[in-house]
A = this chain, B = another copy of it.
Amino acid sequence: MTAQQTPVQALPAVLERIDAELDNSLARLFDFLRIQSISTDPAFAPQCRSAAEHIAKDLASLGFDVSVRPTGGHPIVVAKVANGGAGPNVLFYGHYDVQPVDPLDLWETPPFEPRIATTPDGRKIIVARGACDDKGQVMTFVEALRAYKTVMGALPLSSITMMIEGEEECGSHHLFGFVKDNAAELKQDFALVCDTSMWDPTTPMVTTSIRGLVYEQVNLTCADRDLHSGLFGGAAQNPIRVLTRILSSMYDDTGRITIPGFYDGVSDLPPDIKKELASLDLTAEDFLGAVGLKAPAGEKDRLLIEQIATRPTAEINGIIGGYTGEGAKTVIPGKAMAKVSFRLVGDQDPEKIRTAFRAFVREKLPVDCSVEFGNFGGAAAVQLPFDSPALGKTRDALAAEWGKKAITVGEGGSIPIVGDFKRVLGMDTIMVGFALDDDRVHSPNEKYDLTSFHKGARSWARILAALSV
C-alpha cells in the first residue's frame, strides 16, 4: 500500500492485480449470479433483496458508505465514497436484477448455476442468467475498484457514487422518482454506465447518444357506426383509407420524413465521426441478414449505421381497423387506429415533433373524418458532446487496453434513465460495455465472454486512471 501513488502510477500494478485475481473475481461473480433476482416476478422479491444486500456488502468492503434504500418495489443500492483524489466526481449506474429464465427447457444447464464453458471456436464463456446483463458488466467496474483498493489502499477520483437498481428488467418504475427525490446526492460531474456492448469482439465502443422517442396513437372516426360496404361503398368515407393515405404520406420517395419542421435540430455528424462510422463498413447483409432482410429501408442518402443510430425515424408500430378475422366481411368501419412513433436525435424537441405530427394529420383530414390523439410518451435524444474531454480519455483508455481505436456510436433504442440523468440532473453519461452480439441477453443460455469480463475490468482500471488526470 502506497498512499502517495496516483492512479496512473498505480495502473500497472492494478492491471497485474486484476490478472492475478481473475479466478477469485470469477468466484465472486458466480456468487452474485447464483442469486435468482428476477425482478418482474413478485415471487422472487426476497431474492432481489438478497442481490441488493449482496452487492451492498461487497461495496462496503471496498470502503463505500452503503445503504439499501427501500422503494415501492425492489430496493436501490446507493454507495458513496469520497476518495479525495484527483479527477471528477462520478456516478456509476448498473442493475442487480435479471430477466426471467423461461423457457427453462432451452437452457443447457440451470440458469442460476453459473459455469465456464468453451465455445466451438475456443472462446471461454461464463454461462448464467445475468452473466452479461448486468451482473457481469457491473462486476467489471467493481473488480477494477477492488484492484485499486488493494494496490493504492483507496479508490481513485474525487468521489465515486454507485447506484445499483433492481427494476431495470421490469421498467425501472421506481428509479425515475428516486433520481428526482435524491438529485442532490446523485448529481455528479458525469455518469458511467456499463450496460452496453462492444462494436465487435475486438473493437471497443463508447455509446455517445441515445435516440429520443415520441409515441402517438391516432384514432380516426368517420361514420358513427360500421357500415355495409354494399349499401354505402363508394359514398361513405372509410377511415382506413384516410389513415393509410395520411400515414403513407409521412415519407417521400427518398425515405425522408415529410412532416414540416421534423428535421429541426438534426445536425449532420462531424466529418471525422462520419468517416469513422463509414470505416466500420456495416453492411445490410451483416445487420439485416439475421432477421431475413437485405436492404436498408431508411433515408437513401444515409449510411445504414446512420439510419439506425444517428438519424431520426418515423415508424408505424401498429394499425387496426375494420374486419380482421377469418374470411370476408364487407364492412366499412366507423373507426381506425394507428400507433406511430418517432426516434429523435440531436436537438429535436419531442413536444414540437408531437405538435407537428398532429398538425400534419389534421391538415390532411377530409370532411367526415375526425381525429383524437393519444400521447404515449416523449423523450428528447441524449447526446454526449463529441468534444467531451472525459469521452476522449475514455476512448484512449479503451484503445490502450484493446489495441484498437474505440469507436463512438449512437444507440438506436432508448435507455430512459440516461435521459433522466441529462434532464433531471443535468449530467452527461459515458456508456461503456463489453457485451457481444451473441451474448443471448434475455434469452436462454445467456453468456458473457471471459475476455469481456477480464478485459472489461482492465478497461475500467485504465479509464479510471485516465479520468484522474
Interface residues of A (CB under 8 A from B): 211, 213, 215, 222-225, 227-238, 240-241, 243-245, 247-249, 251, 284, 287-288, 291-299, 304, 307-308, 311, 313, 315-324, 327-334, 336-339, 341, 343, 366-368, 376-377, 411-414
Let me know if A235 and B308 touch, CB within 8 A.
Answer: yes
Let me know if A229 and B315 touch, CB within 8 A.
Answer: yes
Let me know if A322 and B318 touch, CB within 8 A.
Answer: yes
A86→B337 CA distance, assembly (Å): 61
Let me know if B341 and A330 touch, CB within 8 A.
Answer: yes
A238→B314 CA distance, assembly (Å): 10
Residues of B within 8 A of A368 (CB): 288, 293-295, 297
A226→B244 CA distance, assembly (Å): 21
A299→B235 CA distance, assembly (Å): 8
Let me know if A223 and B332 touch, CB within 8 A.
Answer: no
Let me know if A240 and B322 touch, CB within 8 A.
Answer: no
Considering the complex, give the chain B residue whose CB is closest to the CB of A213.
B330
A-B contacts, 16 listed (Cβ < 8 Å): A211-B230, A231-B412, A232-B308, A233-B313, A240-B319, A241-B248, A241-B251, A244-B244, A245-B248, A316-B322, A317-B329, A318-B324, A320-B320, A322-B339, A328-B339, A329-B339
Let me know if A234 and B307 touch, CB within 8 A.
Answer: yes
A417 to B: closest C-beta gap in Å: 15
Given A297-B368, A317-B328, 18 new contacts (CB under 8 A): A222-B292, A223-B288, A225-B292, A229-B317, A229-B341, A232-B288, A234-B313, A235-B287, A235-B307, A236-B293, A241-B247, A241-B248, A295-B367, A315-B332, A317-B331, A318-B321, A324-B339, A328-B377
Considering the complex, give the chain B residue whose CB is closest to the CB of A325.
B318
The one of B229, B241, B329, B412 that contacts A230, using a Cβ cutoff of 8 Å: B412
A412→B413 CA distance, assembly (Å): 49
Residues of B within 8 A of A293 (CB): 222-223, 236-237, 368
For A235, A244, A292, A323, the residue with the greatest tally of chain B CB atoms inside 10 Å of its CB is A235
Given contacts A230-B412, A298-B234, contact A322 B323 (CB under 8 A): no
Residues of B within 8 A of A297 (CB): 234-238, 366, 368
A305 to B: closest C-beta gap in Å: 9
